[in-house]
Amino acid sequence: MYWFCKNLYLLFAKIYLSYRVVGRENILKMDRDHGYVVASNHVSFLDPPLVGGAFPQELYYFARKTLFDGAFFGWLLPRIKAIPVNQEAPEMSTLKQIIQLLKDGEGVVIFPEGERSYDGELKEKGQSGVGMMVEKSKAKVLPTRLFGPAEALPRGSKKLRRVPVTLVVGEEVDCSDLLENKELGKKERYEAITARIMDAIRALELPEE
């Protein structure tokens, strides 16, 4: 079911949104035997499969907990590796589940902003829980940034527009110095890791044609 949905979505994205990936070589350099976080900006409902679709292996995703209430999505979402999350008050059990997946060598798509952007711009700060997941699991981090979904299907809109979409993949974010810094308290370390990830996403640019 995961691969069926992924390939169907990618076909739609390539035909209707001219979807392309820049920096695919950075994906190929990732150690698949090590857990890793794929961190991205979040501007549209279109985002999760646009990010995960670039990867040759299965990835886990967060999905709003209420989406699992319906019969169809309650059946489908677990089969495409979606994990329910309470956006208003993230539960510790969910964070522990993600940390364990990362320790087990899985890949997880995470949006550090925690919600879709209202204006398409990246927020100044991300959620410190992302830093905690990286610190606890010692996961690798790969920054990505989407260009186009904010115009194709912005937050609050129900009309899909035919806008080209590009996923830019950056190089691995090195957080080893923060992980080893004994002078930082736990909260400071989590925030510093998240800030570095956000800076790495922000630094990614859409290449000129």
Write down the pLDDT at residue 132. 94
- pTM score, whole prediction: 0.92
Position 74: which residue type?
A: G
- pLDDT, residue 189, reads 96
Name the pLDDT band for 171 (thresholds 50, 70, 90): very high
At residue 88, does pLDDT exceed 70?
Answer: no
Q: Residue 7: pLDDT above 80?
A: yes
Crossing angle of the two packed helices 128-137 and 186-202, in degrees rounded to 10: 110
pLDDT band at 94 (very low <50, low <70, confident <90, very high): confident
For residue range 118-148, list pLDDT tens digits in order: 888 999 999 999 999 999 999 999 999 999 9
Strand bridging mode 107-110 / 166-169: unpaired
Domains of the chain are 2-202 (3.40.1130.10)
Q: What are phi and psi of 67, to 5 degrees?
A: -65, -20
